[in-house]
Structure 1
């Protein structure tokens, strides 16, 4: 039986989906019936991930795209290639990176690298995908933000600035595109256990801080993010736009 959460027949691009949170989001969209374009910068890694997903969901459910989200030319070519195979209905801007260094010491090069990857890429990919969505009169874009959209910690100033900017980019996109049928929202994960954060999980002091600071008393899992993305990609959220949903175990709700 069809439900408002059913994504059957829709095509979704998840940037940075060869591992971690992006891969979990891709799986959730596939489980909801969407065709997913697995994306990354490394052809081999993207291919291996797509093959694994195809074994679980069928070869017709998965395709691939390899391009640099920080290059306007590469983004335009990449989206053109995806659209050539069929209209792109859903975009999840997930690609990003972290850099830990005090603001007094971080180089301009590293600052700009984080801003370019975590914020400017969402503008480039979002704008390029939205051009076709606006012309068709429909589409859903989900920007993956962070608890650092609202909060700050020492040594991650560039990341905090980028994710705070991504929230307002989400609002700006809504202001300009919602009237054309393109909804734009964000999902802000809390502290999620992935291969990239495993060192923090294994740090007793940091792990204790996360557990004590998070009301549900645990780290999030990548799969915890997928449900919110499916909701914001589906007709179940058809009157929701310009919002950022925090999936953080209650971290930003308490002091």
Structure 2
């Protein structure tokens, strides 16, 4: 028979079970420490070459159910067979995109280079998927995982219509941008021709170090000799 206090407290059994679970987990942790499991995880993580692989290794915990252990052993055996058959799957050195994706998810802005880095990672993941699938049943567990990777190649193609592989926005991104850039280019050429006429004029040419048109920041400038500074009207942008 339960004690009167237990009858009046319906949470007593729950609290007791919670205490037992906590004690069991504590004993498990102690056992792991005795087996130097933390050191084993660190050694395993040091041999990984993909950012998510390292995280999985660091967070790994011993399994206690036989079917789980056997499944992972089979996965490991299939992975070893795949590596010896087709070699590396191509994810070595891939950058972690999660910070960029989190920023994009809250309508944050990505630079062209950042967007390209994500697209290149998607291409690498698709290549890795195809490498695994090329085992054609010899690595069934891994192939089952790889089969769930979506094909995002069309997305990459659409983005690369607007951004170059160096992350530069292309003129073809929008018709308006193409027109604006064409106008800027025409204006730049007109300014260059005007500067060349000034540089070659009789009143200015003798005062220049050279006839070349130089740039200071985003401005086109003439390089005037120090001793002739007063003979050429204009704003001094730099002195050397």
Which band: TM-score by shorter chain? under 0.3
Greater strand share, structure number: 1
TM-score (norm 1): 0.24
TM-score (norm 2): 0.25
Greater helix share, structure number: 2
Higher Rg of the two aligned structures: 2
